Amino acid sequence: MLPYTAYLRVYEPLTAFTPRDRAVWAGYAESRDRPRRAGALEVEHDESVRRLLCVPPAPAPDKESHNAYLRRVEDMLYVCPWQSRLRSWLAFASFRGSMPVKLADRFVPKAIAEQTADDFDRFKRGEPSLRTNIHTSTWHVPTPWFVPFDSAERWLVLGAEGNETTEPAVPTTTAPPRNMLYVTSMAQARRRVARALVVIRRHVGHVTILTEVEEVGRWLEEFHPHSLVELDYGGLVHLMNDETLQGDQSVAEVSAALAGLDNGQEELAFAMYQRVILRWRSIQALEFAN
């Protein structure tokens, strides 16, 4: 069972990388030993579980991952590095900062935590950017993550005998038997976020919503303009039955809410926004189910 986590990923074209990294990723794409998309999430999850279950636990791997998610569109190769070490450091720093030190020490011994923090500090001194190509969210999809996409870009697979609905606007690689994806171009993603920010600033006084959408926009601006952006429901699809997944039109509802605000249809905007919020609030509540 995959973790109940959703992923927002950016795939950059091979030309966006340095000549050295370009050669590495081109060779990686031709390798027969690399994890294929159908099992990549499972491989990534297994690696993290093994690190945390060993004695003593290892909050971050000793070396950066050499793996990546790949997409091909016609003759163009797009690469989304796993960056397991950097993402683990960032997640561990957030975890340690979210609870009292004595409680955090119950999960990871103090000596291991301090060594992990020291390793991260040394890395940061020699690395000007902590940019990651992958954002994760447990137990729900944050509402701002729906903004960069269009409902026509949805790709839904419901098991081996399920039906695919809506071909993606950007061709996809092989996916697990049960999956929900949205894929779009970076240009479209940035354009939609920019339009949403104009509407939110004009009509919404909620600072948190504005800040969260701005954060998504700033993150997208850090990548090559010809990249691809992907929203993957990941393990969250196992919290929803087929009917729920088929009825999930969160991207379309967020788009309708923004359009309603812009057109002066406040009641429609509120209704669409509430549908998204209530849907994901009910799923997120499962974190505390027994």
Q: Where are the domains of the chain?
A: 5-134, 135-288
Q: How many CA within 13 A on the CB side of residue 70?
A: 18
CA distances from residue 181 to 65, 95, 125, 255 in whole angstroms, order as listed: 24, 28, 36, 17
Residue 163 has a pLDDT of 47
pLDDT averaged per 10 residues in sequence order, the chain, 290 residues = 91 97 96 88 89 86 94 95 95 88 84 92 87 96 98 88 48 62 98 97 83 97 98 95 94 97 93 96 90
- Report the predicted TM-score, pTM, of the whole model to 2 decimal places: 0.90
CA distance 63 to 164: 38
Contact indicator for 66, 27 with CB cutoff of 8 Å: no
At residue 160, the pLDDT reads 54
